[in-house]
Structure 1
Amino acid sequence: MILSLAVALIFATKVAFAHQPVTISTTSGSLLGAEEDGVMSFKGIRFAQPPTGSLRWLPPVAFVSNATQNATVLGPSCVQQFAFATATLIEPLFNNPEDPPDEDEDCLFLNVWAPSCSSYAPLKPVVFYIYGGSFAFGTASLPEYDGTSIASNQDIVVVTFNYRTNVFGFPGAPDLPLQENNLGMLDQELALQWVQSNIQKFGGDPNQITIMGQSAGGISVSTFIVRHPVNPPFRAAIIFSGAAPDSSPKSTKFDAFNNFSIAMGCSQAPGPARLTCLRAVSAVDIRAYTNGPTAGDFRRVVDDVTDFEHNLEIIRSGNTAQVPLLAGTMQDDGTLFTVGETNLTAFLEAQGTKVGELVSADLARSLYPGQNDTTVIANVFRDLTFLCVTSLWAQAFVEIGISSVFRYEYGAAFPDFQLFPGAGAWHSTEVPEFFGTYNAETATHNEKTLSKSFQTAIANFIKNPNKSPAPHWPNYVPGNDTQTLARLAYHNNVDLGNFVDAVTSDSQDSTCATWNMFLDF
């Protein structure tokens, strides 16, 4: 496809006058961005009306404008919730403590990084990235998610965006229709619609969009896959440590929202009057409560619109987006979530009634022979939450005939990431390596090399999801008689030519025979 004349002139002007402002017309207005060193950046693009006042706890409303918009500064984060019990560990790790982004309820902005293009440049692949944060926190307004390196080195268009989290995005409110409780996922849908409508203006191809996410962002990607069985608005999917297992049925508990309402001084029965009262409460007061010691967890609910009860059954029926999939986990995905945990019995009971009833401490120890209880706890969390779910998804995709499935386990554990005891290759440490936003001052030579290799491999999949993303990385075939699980960056192998070690496909899944009874209904 050839860019429109107007866009072509913009690109031609920009090439002739490097380091000058660049303007692109979109449904959000005429965006004034910047170009530097071959990359255009447009930040803080409003894609939805402010979800404030009477729009609090309503589905997002598209923002449409013809006005000129400054697109050179990242927008504020959505209001964050860092669980009181773990905030001293989690907030410094995930909220840029030296310069945390501003927070605001008016936060539905997105960002685009695109290679500088000539007037005849072909349209480029696009990655649509969804951040993690347990659906409680997270923001695209962190330096970690800057797309400059990817756009410059890999010649693809990068999109990041904010979506509502915690009580603002996933209230679990009986006052709302069930299908309007996963507001953060509706924000994600609207952001992707914006990309479909506008990305060609940036040189991106709307027919070559890969949706990608990590942790809660990975779960979000998996829900996109399930709810778009026909003509999906993406051609491939990437999941870093986070696919959706089968979920609890629609017997939603509203305790967290009801307790929140009482704490905010809104004691009316659930319904319009209580919502009116709550919409008058300031976001500052709400944040003070949700980050305090008595706040509950605000999670997504099964609504059969954005989130589903039997995800794996839907996949196996073929009633899902049948697109190439790259999915994997970290060798030590569980260490971050189990810091300080030493009581195995108490830990198992805290994983839910069924786990506590059916899995004893002795059974758990037998699954991980030779490990002390602290390590067993971390590995149980890893397998129950991440590894076994990913295994089930990859296997289900292969079962329905999708040939382009690539599964990995990432093992790089660099010194500058060992920020808590027993960290290892912990949950989320692959993200700055993909974005190329690692700390250049503390990174070793091997880390810098691995970042280039890993970024290139993932970008290769984004460019052509039907081709092996790196040497020695085969299509995944489940079982114990194939070697198609890609172990990445083990044994200090970091070069693109050797950082993939293909091992027996189910070699990491021995414990899943136990954990799958809680994941695959």
Structure 2
Amino acid sequence: MPRVFSQTSLGLSASTKMRTFAKWFGLLLTGITSTLAATVTIRTTSGRLNGVEEDGGKSAFNVVQGHRESSLILLPTQSELNVNALQRFAQPPVGALRWEPPVPFISSASSDATKLGPSCIQQFPNELSIQLFNNAQNPPAENEDCLFLNIWAPSTSQGNKRKPVVIWLYGGGLTFGTGSLPAYDGTSIVKNQDILIVTLNYRTNVFGFPSSPDLPLRGNNLGFFDQELAMTWVQQNIANFGGDPTQVTIMGQSAGSASVSSAIVRFPKNPPFRAGILFSGPPRDLLPTPSFATFNQVAAAVGCNQNPGPARLSCLKRVPAATIKQFINGPGVLLAYGTPVVDNITTFTNGIERIRSGDVAQVPVFIGNTQDDGSLFAVGMSNLTAFLETLPGQISPDLVRSLYPGLNDSAIVAAAGRDLSFTCGVSLSAAAFVEAGVSVFRYEYGAVFPDLQLFPMAGAWHSSELPELFGTFNATTATPNEVTLSKTFQTVVANFIKNPNTSPAPNWPKYKPGSNTRTLAKLAYEGNVELRNVVMAVESDSADGPCQLWNRFLDLN
């Protein structure tokens, strides 16, 4: 029987079609009632998780340990052979612990609750980001006390051998996001692939990446330390859920993918994972000089007018989180948070060079981006000159047009944004990993389905692969090909999780950069959605032509 345990600024205006999409993007699979039976207890370093064993193997419920609030949301999941638990892994980062590295939550007490934990405090750049990425019809509660993780595990009836584990890190530009979104429900992939999945919350925006002169430089990238502590918790406890701590893969998309790359770079020895999956968020070099302007603006806005230092920080720690949230989500904020500072612990100015030299975790990587990663960010943008003015230096529009022949300026903005933010960084880092002797599987995802076309020329847009990965697509509007691709894509990803040094799909060789090899996997192009044909191997650098220009902004050493 399965067991249940208690415990980038988009700059867009929302259209009716996008709001329609948001309704399904956050939809939770319909729950099936079940009769609950025997009590089950799992011991962890942060407490005993009390739960129940299901009668008939028909459903499971998301549950939370150690949370004291009563206003959270019960989320039944449609699940067979599945257990889900949500566990506190750190002390509440509130009061004196605000803007401090996370402190492990250690307990031997029992906890019994049946509600999902809250998101960390969110900063959304506009209404569209809420509609698309916060389950807008029924958003998760938010609380500064938010450092929880979810665990989905197969029933032991599927076998007693320890199973591979994947840790999911969400995107959101390091300004918003939560592991509690229904879109990231792990039921489907766990059920279909017989692996464990862990989703977690980490602090974002001013609470997680404050860029504060009041803190030591190494105390600014708190969200990365949250992720690291959760990885440690997994190493210490996942065996109790049937997982193998020696077979942990970290996986993320967008800012979550950038978080994976940060972890790979900062763990050259004894990494708490054996592989990394990077969806549309490659490693990149960062400028060494931080900007404190936005933090100073927040301090002034909430009445903490002392000079930067301990006294101002003490004042800010006494300000209610709701007051800070209201300001950072209001008008007039200089910049959205989400840029880590270079601290030479979690981030570096020479990340690409560190990869080349092998001074990073020597783990296999699955890395790539979508064919139209820039389209979502370019809606309504047709002025190529204005786009280029946002970049340092002077770049000729005609030069850029020559790199994208046959496209109008609107399409060029989307394509250039894709290459600058995603494709060229993937190319640089994939080549660097290969140079260091690491196994690399590079892809470009090209699946386009009618129910995902939210705007003209949307294509395979940024994050459009996630409903297929998690199996949380809208079953009422999905085409048969979309249903098939979801199962295929889950299998491909799970194959890498299970054996990251072996090709995850037929016809997908390890990546070798250059024009004389065919190792770039074009995934789900031309309606090819079955495992036997989902990979079309093409010339390894065929997507990288414009990178001769954009790499100057990415490889700073």
Q: Taking structure 1 as the reference length, what is the TM-score of the superposition?
A: 0.93
Describe how 1:56-75 pairs up with structure 2 within 5 A.
56-70=98-112, 72-75=114-117
> Quick check: 1:33–1:72 contact (8 Å CA) kept in 2?
no
Residue of structure 1 in register with 2:425 after alignment: 389
Amino acid of the residue matched to residue 210 of structure 1? T
Q: Could you give the per-residue CA deviations for residues 219-278 of structure 1, whole angstroms, max 9, x where no partner exists?
A: 0000101110011111111000001211101x2110010011111111110011111111
* Alignment counterpart, residue 516 of structure 2, candidates 477, 481, 490: 481
Describe how 1:361-400 pairs up with structure 2 within 5 A.
361-400=397-436
Distance 1:330 1:407 in 2: 11
* Alignment counterpart, residue 432 of structure 1, candidates 467, 471, 476: 467
Distance 2:330 2:245 in 1: 43
Q: In terms of mean alpha carbon deviation, does 26-35 or 237-246 score higher?
A: 26-35
Shift of 1:456: 0.4
Shift of 1:421: 3.1
Residue of structure 1 in register with 2:263 after alignment: 224
Q: Could you give the per-residue CA deviations for residues 132-188 of structure 1, whole angstroms, max 9, x where no partner exists?
A: 000000001100111111111101010000000000000000000100100000000
Say whether residues 1:268 and 2:306 are aligned partners: yes
> Quick check: 1:125–1:204 contact (8 Å CA) kept in 2?
yes
Residue of structure 1 in register with 2:68 after alignment: none
Say whether residues 1:333 and 2:373 are aligned partners: yes
* Alignment counterpart, residue 42 of structure 2, candidates 2, 19, 24: 24
Describe how 1:121-520 pairs up with structure 2 within 5 A.
121-249=160-288, 251-295=289-333, 296-298=335-337, 299-350=339-390, 352-354=391-393, 357=394, 359-402=395-438, 404-520=439-555
> Quick check: 1:215–1:240 contact (8 Å CA) kept in 2?
yes
> Quick check: 1:147–1:435 contact (8 Å CA) kept in 2?
yes
Structure 1 unaligned runs (5+)?
1-7, 12-16
Structure 2 unaligned runs (5+)?
5-34, 60-79
Q: Could you give the per-residue CA deviations for residues 477-517 of structure 1, whole angstroms, max 9, x where no partner exists?
A: 11111111000111111111111111111100001111111
Shift of 1:22: 3.2
Distance 1:20 1:220 in 2: 40
Distance 1:73 1:20 in 2: 20
Distance 2:217 2:336 in 1: 17
Shift of 1:18: 8.0
Residue of structure 2 in register with 1:14 after alignment: none
Amino acid of the residue matched to residue 39 of structure 1? N
Amino acid of the residue matched to residue 120 of structure 2? C
Amino acid of the residue matched to residue 204 of structure 1? G
Shift of 1:91: 1.3
Residue of structure 2 in register with 1:3 after alignment: none
Residue of structure 1 in register with 2:81 after alignment: 38
Distance 1:412 1:21 in 2: 44
Shift of 1:23: 2.2
Distance 2:401 2:39 in 1: 60
Alignment root-mean-square deviation, CA: 1.7
> Quick check: 1:49–1:61 contact (8 Å CA) kept in 2?
yes
Residue of structure 1 in register with 2:23 after alignment: none
Structure 2 residue matching 1:370: 3-state secondary structure: coil
Distance 1:342 1:390 in 2: 26
Residue of structure 2 in register with 1:79 after alignment: 121
Amino acid of the residue matched to residue 286 of structure 2? S
Structure 1 residue matching 2:156: 3-state secondary structure: coil
Amino acid of the residue matched to residue 82 of structure 2? V
Shift of 1:97: 1.1
Distance 1:330 1:445 in 2: 21
> Quick check: 1:77–1:162 contact (8 Å CA) kept in 2?
yes
Structure 2 residue matching 1:276: 3-state secondary structure: helix
Shift of 1:20: 5.3
Distance 2:45 2:467 in 1: 31
Structure 2 residue matching 1:42: 3-state secondary structure: strand
Residue of structure 1 in register with 2:7 after alignment: none
Shift of 1:424: 1.1
Structure 2 residue matching 1:66: 3-state secondary structure: strand
Shift of 1:72: 3.9
Structure 2 residue matching 1:238: 3-state secondary structure: strand
Shift of 1:297: 2.2
Shift of 1:71: 5.7
Structure 1 residue matching 2:108: 3-state secondary structure: coil
Amino acid of the residue matched to residue 268 of structure 1? Q
CA shift in 2, pair 1:152/1:263, >3 Å: same
Moved over 6 A (4+): none
Shift of 1:70: 3.0
Distance 1:487 1:341 in 2: 27
Identity over aligned pairs, percent: 61
Distance 1:111 1:191 in 2: 11
Shift of 1:19: 6.7
Distance 2:113 2:415 in 1: 43
